Amino acid sequence: MNKIYVILTACLLVANVASAQDFHLTNYQPAGMLFNPAMSGSGDHPLQVGVQYRSQWASILKGYTTMATTIDGKYKQFGGGVQLYQNHAGPASLKTTGFMMTGAYHKPLAKDGSLSLGFGLGKVQRRINPALLTFDNQYVEGVGYDGGRPSEEVFARTKASFADLSTGLVWQGYWGNTKNLKSSFGLSLSHVHLPNEGFFGQKSDLPTKTVLHGSLDMKVDDQFLFTPHFLMQNQGVHREFLGGVKFNGSFDAGAEFHAGMAYRWGDAIILQMGLEIGDKSIWASYDANVSTLEKNTGGKGAFELGLYLRFGESQKKQLKDTDKDGTYDHRDKCPKMPGPKENNGCPNSASEAALDADKDGIADKLDECPLEPGEPQFDGCNDSDGDGIYDQVDACPEIYGHIENKGCPIRDRDTDKDGVPDLEDQCIFIKGLPAFKGCPDTDRDGVSDMDDHCPYLRGLKEYHGCPSNATIVEMEPDFVVEFPTDGANIGEEYKSRLDAFAQQLLKDETSRILVSGHTDTEGTVAYNYELGLRRAKVVRDYLRREGVPMERLEMMSYGEAMPKRTNGSHDGRAENRRTELNVVK
């Protein structure tokens, strides 16, 4: 009976590996929905079909093989897909087959970012083939193993099935205004309901698998991309960390080459290669085994191959040639100006390159709207309502709106919760009053802050909100802290003066202090409101630490709504990036 215990122990070990841990794929990036349902429909094309095959440790117990097929697509902000996978392990041909349907919602965020939430629901079946097992009563003394002898072992059942549920979250966004850095981070949970995977009817909960993944696309130039990435998985007692870098090179006619190297901690050194031509791509990888099983595997690692087909027009690489010069727009450094291919689609002469058809000071080769005068911060275009959607593609160019509604307000939405719908609110992100179309009246004198020359001093309507005609001048705040572009930290040069200002405030316990944050017009209205709030908060918190009671500090953000100077100049924008302190008695 000793032999049967040894054999059954080996089988149980195989079963344990396959059940306590899900299948593994090295090329996880092109088929992200296999790891996170929130990535369903997140590609650049409306529809993608992918097939992946992996063979690992072929010299041990007949090895492990995995085959996975995925189909996913998107419609507007919704994504969905199906996945089918099969995993074989060990001499008993332990087979795990899974089918899952996934769905995701992709919410656009400011600065071309997005937040995606996904769910998956499916079924998993595990099957074993007892005919491929060997038992001690099949061994004949002096002869050896005789496969023709009956095993006399009885199996109650050879398969088990259970429902499966997963969920995930993914954030993607750009850093800075140049769009040279794009990051992506995701978190997913599989088997969240701890399904019973018992093979012989016994209670055996499959542990929840947690996956954390991230990447940072660093654009070197229009043709080259460098991407560090990582993948962390945790399931029961099993841990895995994979980190690596990937290099993308782009060529003419929409071809891309991928090469990378990664390391799976304590397990393998990984080499990756990929080629993408038009709507087709192929990926291959090899895991060189460096684990404690290296000797037992005879030096064999894992080979993986993936093929992906994409259908429909790509959002990222629409093969258009606007200026008809033979260079596609996504490779053309001057897409609206014809030029030779050897000069990246730009004119050869300096005089041609300096053309500025709309006379807005931005050369046509850099101007996204070359026939209409625009602003430098909008790449030569205009964004009249500050919603982050250029007027040329904004269905409501004069009214702040939302990306999901083509730049128009969404009916009945009230972003600032002041009782005035966005469609009628002239201060969408600042809580105000219906009488002033959603804008505030801080000094309660019946004049909206947007029209009040003295917004923190109660006055009369005939004097534009000031107490008398003599005070209809630009009132200076009691203290101003200025910030760098996109910054919300107090500079060292202000701290000693703020300390002294706080001491003055402590001497007069009857006054209130209005802390208001302001920005320039770079960025969307929504982002600038949030930035103004951060600027106001950092100054308020500083005064609070210096002893000024919280109840005396009133904080708000005006965003870009109340500029001190014009935003048309560098100096003007610098003065508009500020937090103002006004003492009200």
Would you state the pLDDT for residue 42? 87
Check whether 178 has a pLDDT greater than 50. yes
- CATH number of the domain enclosing 297: 2.40.160.40
Mark whether 299 and 363 lie in a shared domain: no
- Output DSSP code: residue 93: T
pLDDT band at 318 (very low <50, low <70, confident <90, very high): very low
Mark whether 337 and 306 lie in a shared domain: no
Per-residue pLDDT reduced to its tens digit, 469-502: 654 445 678 899 999 988 899 999 999 999 999 9
Nearest C-alpha neighbor of 456 from the set 464, 439, 468, 444: 444
Q: How many CA atoms lie within 13 A of 382 on its CB side?
A: 14
**Cα 517 from Cα 535, distance rounded (Å):** 5
Mark whether 297 and 331 lie in a shared domain: no
Mark whether 55 and 199 lie in a shared domain: yes
- Mean pLDDT over residues 284-297, rounded? 78
Report yes or no: 142 and 122 within 8 Å, Cβ to Cβ: no
When mean pLDDT is compared over 177-181, 325-329, 446-450, the highest value belongs to 446-450
Give 214: exposed, middle or buried? Use CB within 10 Å, 0-12, 13-18, 19+. middle
Would you state the pLDDT for residue 297? 61
Mark whether 232 and 356 lie in a shared domain: no
Report yes or no: 420 and 432 within 8 Å, Cβ to Cβ: yes
Residues pairing with 304 in the sheet:
54, 285
Check whether 166 has a pLDDT greater than 50. yes
Report yes or no: 482 and 520 within 8 Å, Cβ to Cβ: no
Mark whether 327 and 216 lie in a shared domain: no
pLDDT band at 120 (very low <50, low <70, confident <90, very high): very high
Per-residue pLDDT reduced to its tens digit, 226-281: 999 999 999 988 899 999 999 998 875 568 899 999 999 988 999 999 998 878 89
Would you state the pLDDT for residue 407? 75
Q: What are phi and psi of 11, to 5 degrees?
A: -65, -40
pTM comes to 0.53
Whether 65 is in a domain gets the answer: yes
Q: Strands 78-89, 64-75: parallel, antiparallel or unpaired by DSSP?
A: antiparallel
Of 566 and 369, more confident: 566
Nearest C-alpha neighbor of 83 from the set 53, 51, 54, 43: 51
Mark whether 329 and 199 lie in a shared domain: no
Would you state the pLDDT for residue 538? 92
Per-residue pLDDT reduced to its tens digit, 496-548: 999 999 999 998 888 889 899 999 988 888 888 889 989 999 999 999 999 99
**Cα 512 from Cα 555, distance rounded (Å):** 11
Per-residue pLDDT reduced to its tens digit, 543-562: 999 999 988 998 888 888 88
Full residue range of the structural domain in which residue 356 is found: 320-382
Check whether 101 has a pLDDT greater than 90. yes
- Angle at 6 (CA atoms; ends 5, 9), nearest 5 degrees: 80
pLDDT band at 123 (very low <50, low <70, confident <90, very high): very high
Mark whether 113 and 223 lie in a shared domain: yes
Mark whether 305 and 328 lie in a shared domain: no
CB neighbour list of residue 128: distance below 8 Å, 6 or more residues apart: 15, 92, 93, 94, 95, 158, 159, 199
- CATH number of the domain enclosing 511: 3.30.1330.60
How many domains, in total, are found in the chain?
3
CB neighbour list of residue 42: distance below 8 Å, 6 or more residues apart: 32, 33, 74, 79, 104, 106, 116, 170
Check whether 24 has a pLDDT greater than 60. yes
- pLDDT-above-90 percentage for the chain: 30
State the DSSP string of 44-77: SSSEEEEEEEEEE-TTSTT-EEEEEEEEEEEETT
Check whether 4 has a pLDDT greater than 70. no
Check whether 94 has a pLDDT greater than 70. yes
Nearest C-alpha neighbor of 71 from the set 57, 86, 51, 53: 51
- Mean pLDDT over residues 304-333, rounded? 70
Q: Picking from 82-96, 208-222, 357-371, which range would have the lowest pLDDT averaged per residue? A: 357-371
Whether 132 is in a domain gets the answer: yes
**Cα 541 from Cα 531, distance rounded (Å):** 15
Would you state the pLDDT for residue 213? 95
Mark whether 374 and 295 lie in a shared domain: no
Of 357 and 82, more confident: 82
Give the E-state strand segments of 110-146 in sequence order.
113-127, 139-140, 144-145
Mark whether 370 and 307 lie in a shared domain: no
Check whether 19 has a pLDDT greater than 60. no
Of 401 and 228, more confident: 228
Whether 155 is in a domain gets the answer: yes
Would you state the pLDDT for residue 406? 72
Q: Strands 553-559, 512-518: parallel, antiparallel or unpaired by DSSP?
A: parallel
